[in-house]
Amino acid sequence: NAGVTQTPKFRILKIGQSMTLQCTQDMNHNYMYWYRQDPGMGLKLIYYSVGAGITDKGEVPNGYNVSRSTTEDFPLRLELAAPSQTSVYFCASSATGPYGYTFGSGTRLTVV
């Protein structure tokens, strides 16, 4: 049972570079989410998806893009990385909306 798999676990980016954080789930969940976690702050929602082909902005979407071409995959794209995007990123999925989340193990991103 893989659950929610995130890659990479760690990454250092230079300012202005771009990258894609990968997220895959094998539970056939419709709902998928991307959060960022900053020290002393609660998880903040970046983007979410309620099914393949459907995505929507969360609280802090600026500087990020997502796509959901399949039920399993929900990649997060960072364009023109900035130091403010230094954070820990978590992908999550659920079968029934905001209940019973399963989280990935997180990606620690540093932008220098």
**Taking CB under 8 A as the rule, does residue 102 contact other proteins?**
yes
| Measured distance CA(11)–CA(107) in Å, rounded | 8
* Residues listed for the chain: 112
The reply to whether 110 sits near other proteins by the rule CB under 8 A is: no
Q: Is 101 in the site for other proteins (CB under 8 A)?
A: yes
Using rule CB under 8 A, residue 34 touches other proteins? no
Size, binding site for other proteins by CB under 8 A: 24
**Is-contact 19 78, C-beta < 8 A?**
yes
Q: How far is CA 66 from the centre of its chain?
A: 8
Q: How far is the CB of 16 from other proteins (least distance, A)?
A: 27
For 80, the enclosing helix (H) or strand (E) is none
* Residue 27 binds other proteins, judged by CB under 8 A: no
DSSP per position, 4-44: EEEE-SEEEE-TT--EEEEEEESS--SEEEEEEE-TTS--E
List the x/- string, 39-58, binding to other proteins by CB under 8 A: -xxxxxx--x-x-------x
Q: Which residues bind other proteins (CB under 8 A)?
A: 31, 33, 35, 40-45, 48, 50, 58, 88, 90, 97-103, 105-106, 108
